[in-house]
Structure 1
Amino acid sequence: MLNNLKEEKGIFWTVPAALVLNLVFGIQGWTSIGLAFTFFYILQVIRKMGHTIPIIDLMTALAALQWIVGPYIDYHNDVNHYKYFMYVPEEVYMPFVVPALIAFRLGTLFFKDYSDLENIGQRVNQLINKYPKLPYILVVAGLLIPYLNSFIPPALRFVFFLLSNIKYVGVIYLLFSGKPNRWPVFMGVMSVTALGSIASGMFHDLLLWAMLTFTFVARELKLTMGRKILVSILAVFMAMTIQSVKHEYRSIIHAGYGGNKVALFTGLAMDNWSTGRIVNPTNEEEMNARLNQGWIISAVMKHMPHYEPYAGGSTIIEGLEAALLPRFLAPNKKKAGGRENFMKYTGLQLGDNTSMGISLAGEGYANYGAYGGVLFMFCWGLFIGWFWQKLFTFTAIYPTLMIWSPILFLQVIKAETEFVVVLNHLIKASVLVFGLLWGIRRQWGVRI
């Protein structure tokens, strides 16, 4: 851990930065620490892009934005929504969430990060030189799999959803290979993802894979820190554009719109830019729902233990059961979705077709209270750090395994999901990926 802290020595600058925020701007103690911590990890993610696979830093930065920055903005503006607001005061909320997130990151630092892209690049080049068609097979297979969805039993759709993501692994291999057609293939795959997101009105895959593949793009283009910051700013504007448009866009397409959806989406985006609604939204719900997931955690803090006793680890046990046991051994095991936990531990109602997660921090508090919740987040950090380091040990068998890691963490990096979702995805995605790589090696002798 000490070596990792030395590598992350910039984190110590969060202390004087927090003091400046406190003394100059009057931002209270835990809030100032949280904002400084967030700024540090945003810069850390940008700095590491192109050099490592900064999945744990990305997890930390996304959680900090949604649990700290979003709530801070909400505490300090005049917008009051009937539901999406902070249910407990800032001086109650921040002393739990900020230590919880710091505890998570400290837990991960007990294990070393081996995701150096230069090392990985050498392994990829050896693989592609030996099997030059492999990236194209992965891309084509990943593009075709979604068309089988209507023929797949519901119980297997999650498996095929994961398999469809191998197209991104294929384009990452191509980016490392230096082949002249790597950029057209990469842009083609990302364009298909964008068109699919627009067609469905669901933009998670586009945003997540844009973030997860950027580190490989930055390496190939040899982007400087300044250019990576510029791209990050452009990405923020893209995300803001999607957030400002998607509510109205979904309402239109769900009402039976039969026209060109790309033209509709583009028109709404241009209209929002021309009217300034992207940076100055008029809809209260739109403003509150963009960034702040802390309102859910605050609702848990208000509701428990006054109206509902602490769960005492019951949801954690349910999550472990759901992830580790097949359904024939545990027919009543919990399903992913979050709806039941949300209503039970926040005391708030959801529509019949609405599902929300209380997040890992919210679940830690719901089970163990403030102090126990911080300890839970530390233990989760230990597990994530151990798992990330363990992946590297398997590269002795599967040399380019780290390239597949974004599939394993696709749902794990999202700050709004709860324990059963993230652990279920991590375990099942790992079983699928290792099974796939084992099968390919056994059948064709390809050590991916």
Structure 2
Amino acid sequence: MKRVLPAFLLFMGIYQGAGFTVYEALAVALSAYAFQQCISRLGRTIALMECISFVAAVELLLVPAITYRVFPASMPVESTTYFAFMLPAYSAFYAGIHGFSTGKTADSHRRYFQAVATYLRQNQTSGTVLLFIGLAGFTVRTVVPDAPTLVGLLPANCLFVSAFYAWYSQRTYRLIHIGLVVVALLAYTVWSGMFGDLFLWGILAVVFVSPGIPDLLTTRLKSVSVMVAFLLLLLIQSIKGEYRYNTWGQQRTERRGDARLMVELLTDRLANPAKVLNADHAFLSIVRFNQGIMVGSAMAKVPLHESYAQGDVLMSLLYPFIPRFLWPGKPQTGGYENIRRFTTLSQSENTSINLSPLGEGYVNFGFGGVLFAWFYGFLLRSGFQYGLSLAGRIPSVILWLPMLYIGCLTMETDLLSTWGSLANSAVFVALLFWAAKRFGVQL
């Protein structure tokens, strides 16, 4: 109730005083409620599901609502049309991903990290092994960007998992280990011009480190941290376009890193904060997370110009288990086909946009996509709960959940990408545990 009341007061305030429609005000209020839930649970629990639902609220509710007030012409459908589907769809997703709380979550989650700290003190070499596996995968991913996920991305993600191992093992040189991982991540960001990994792994680091230091995290500190994160986001958005313009070609293979340019751009923005802290830039940065444009474009086209897909999306649940060498024509992740088929939006080699799983629910089932939204949330929650149950027997499993869920943190994707990331990572981790045990390494 204490979090419902502020959200209700916000709803009444912007509905009566700011010219928002009922749907738009409700979208902002739901986003505020999701934010309060996330901040409240952060540090007390493994707030992964809360983080996912808050990011979804920002991308599907909050930013579209603001855009409808500030620049409505950029939205493909009317506000009423969009929110008539998205509000119940998001609510169903929220119900699916959170289920029913038992009230004992905080204590049980802390016990997982106490157990893993004890476990890793007895298995000091495992973090180092993961570090070398991660560096090998990281090298492959950098040198051969199109390398299969099994030898590139998945081993590279072990690098970040190794940092969690180092943190909870309390090893003497853990800060050097973690520093090396951070340097590698920053180097990849500069080389690729892609800031997503930096953003997502930063979120996961906070989610999975904070429960180990709950007494240090006050509500004020968490709120200030969110503000700092927002300022960093504005800073990144202010340099991203210019950096890519000078380092990217027309094809993905025509990209190069330029550390000097990156430093120059950052220095310029820090020396001239007005380039970052202004209303126009803030709005453009926020709109970057507007999934309502993609979903709205699909609603404008389906079913008027394109029939509902009638459940094709459910096939995505099977695709990760079929190797590409057995099916050369297996659909690619990235959303190109979804955007081409269901929207009128243009794409290029250097753009990556997608409908979001909730948008896929609409283009497949119409307003029946509300039930699909619940199913998607339930799917994510079920995987999380199963991971926790495994961690009760193998404590280190808790530190692999970031790798499993990094592809599920945002709505800028599709079911094939999120489920594929989750399923492929789970299979890879299971094989890695099995292989390590054969070599006498206890992960």
| Equivalent position of 2:365 in the other structure | 368
Distance 1:262 1:79 in 2: 38
What is the CA distance between 1:275 and its match in structure 2?
Answer: 5.7
Give matches, 1:273-288, under 5 Å.
273=270, 274=272, 276-280=274-278, 286-287=284-285
Alignment match of 2:92 (pick from 103, 115, 125): 103
What is the CA distance between 1:187 and its match in structure 2?
Answer: 3.3
- Structure 1 residues 283, 121: CA separation in 2 closer, same or farther (over 3 Å shift)? closer
| Equivalent position of 1:5 in the other structure | none
Give matches, 1:17-96, under 5 Å.
17-78=10-71, 85-96=74-85
- Structure 1 residues 195, 150: CA separation in 2 closer, same or farther (over 3 Å shift)? closer
Q: Deviations over 1:142-193 (max 9, x none)?
A: 1233223478795634543111111222221222233453334323322321
- Structure 1 residues 69, 283: CA separation in 2 closer, same or farther (over 3 Å shift)? same
Alignment match of 2:221 (pick from 227, 230, 240): 227
Moved more, 391-400 or 236-245: 391-400
- Structure 1 residues 178, 443: CA separation in 2 closer, same or farther (over 3 Å shift)? closer
Aligned to 1:409, what secondary structure does the other structure show?
A: helix
- Structure 1 residues 153, 349: CA separation in 2 closer, same or farther (over 3 Å shift)? closer
Does structure 1 residue 439 correspond to structure 2 residue 435? Answer: yes
Indicate conservation of the 8 Å contact 1:88/1:302, yes or no: yes
Distance 1:31 1:112 in 2: 28
Indicate conservation of the 8 Å contact 1:244/1:281, yes or no: no
Alignment match of 1:253 (pick from 247, 250, 254): 247
Q: Deviations over 1:82-116 (max 9, x none)?
A: xxx21011121122112211110101233668684
What is the CA distance between 1:413 and its match in structure 2?
Answer: 1.2
- Count residues in correspondence: 433
Indicate conservation of the 8 Å contact 1:361/1:373, yes or no: yes
Indicate conservation of the 8 Å contact 2:93/2:377, yes or no: yes
CA-atom RMSD in angstroms = 2.9
Indicate conservation of the 8 Å contact 2:298/2:343, yes or no: yes
| Equivalent position of 2:233 in the other structure | 239
What is the CA distance between 1:17 and its match in structure 2?
Answer: 4.1
| Equivalent position of 1:350 in the other structure | 347
Moved more, 140-149 or 87-96: 140-149
What is the CA distance between 1:338 and its match in structure 2?
Answer: 0.9
Aligned to 2:422, what secondary structure does the other structure show?
A: helix
Does structure 1 residue 400 correspond to structure 2 residue 389? Answer: no
What is the CA distance between 1:224 and its match in structure 2?
Answer: 1.8
Letter in 1 for 2:360: E
| Equivalent position of 1:417 in the other structure | 413
Indicate conservation of the 8 Å contact 1:17/1:36, yes or no: yes
| Equivalent position of 1:4 in the other structure | none
Letter in 1 for 2:56: A
Letter in 2 for 1:227: L
Q: Deviations over 1:322-358 (max 9, x none)?
A: 2233335544332212111101101233225534211
- Structure 1 residues 21, 421: CA separation in 2 closer, same or farther (over 3 Å shift)? same
Does structure 1 residue 384 correspond to structure 2 residue 377? Answer: no
Indicate conservation of the 8 Å contact 1:79/1:284, yes or no: no
Distance 2:340 2:96 in 1: 30
| Equivalent position of 2:422 in the other structure | 426
Indicate conservation of the 8 Å contact 2:136/2:155, yes or no: no
Alignment match of 1:214 (pick from 197, 206, 211): 206
| Equivalent position of 1:294 in the other structure | 292
What is the CA distance between 1:79 and its match in structure 2?
Answer: 8.3
Letter in 2 for 1:128: L
Please, what TM-score do these two structures have when normalized by structure 1? 0.87
Indicate conservation of the 8 Å contact 2:11/2:25, yes or no: yes
Please, what TM-score do these two structures have when normalized by structure 2? 0.88
Does structure 1 residue 265 correspond to structure 2 residue 262? Answer: yes
Letter in 2 for 1:87: P
Aligned to 1:156, what secondary structure does the other structure show?
A: coil
Letter in 2 for 1:54: A
Moved more, 181-190 or 379-388: 181-190
Percent of residue pairs bearing the same amino acid type: 27
Distance 2:255 2:365 in 1: 47
Distance 1:23 1:309 in 2: 39
Alignment match of 2:331 (pick from 330, 334, 357): 334
Letter in 2 for 1:129: R
Indicate conservation of the 8 Å contact 1:395/1:401, yes or no: yes
Distance 1:361 1:161 in 2: 26
Q: Deviations over 1:305-338 (max 9, x none)?
A: 1111111111332x12322333355443322121
| Equivalent position of 2:3 in the other structure | 10
What is the CA distance between 1:137 and its match in structure 2?
Answer: 2.5
- Structure 1 residues 34, 156: CA separation in 2 closer, same or farther (over 3 Å shift)? same
| Equivalent position of 1:167 in the other structure | 159
| Equivalent position of 1:3 in the other structure | none
- Structure 1 residues 86, 257: CA separation in 2 closer, same or farther (over 3 Å shift)? closer
Alignment match of 1:205 (pick from 197, 201, 212): 197
Distance 1:112 1:348 in 2: 40
What is the CA distance between 1:60 and its match in structure 2?
Answer: 0.9
Indicate conservation of the 8 Å contact 2:63/2:287, yes or no: no
What is the CA distance between 1:205 and its match in structure 2?
Answer: 0.7
What is the CA distance between 1:384 and its match in structure 2?
Answer: 1.5
